[in-house]
Amino acid sequence: MKTIHFIYFIIFGSTVLTIYNIIELDFNHPHKGPISGIVSNLLIILAMLVTIRDTKKKE
């Protein structure tokens, strides 16, 4: 499996988990919700996009 395919897999999984966390978020009581899960998944997606950019620059 190529590195790019693995990165796309991580982005897809992170997107699915972010959507799940947003669905589980209670807007009436946001302190009870998975805010840290949403933020961490967004940071993973951002890191993977930067990694893709760097990988494509090397090629």
The pTM (predicted TM-score) of the whole model is 0.79
Identify the domain containing residue 24 by its residue range.
3-58
3-class SS of residue 25? coil
pLDDT tens-digit readout, 39-51: 999 999 999 999 9
pLDDT tens-digit readout, 1-59: 588 888 899 999 999 999 998 888 877 877 777 788 889 999 999 999 999 888 888 77
Cβ atoms of residues 45 and 11 within 8 Å: yes
Residues 6+ apart with CB under 8 A from 15: 41, 45
Residue 11 CB neighbours (<10 A): 19
Split into its structural domains, the chain has a count of: 1
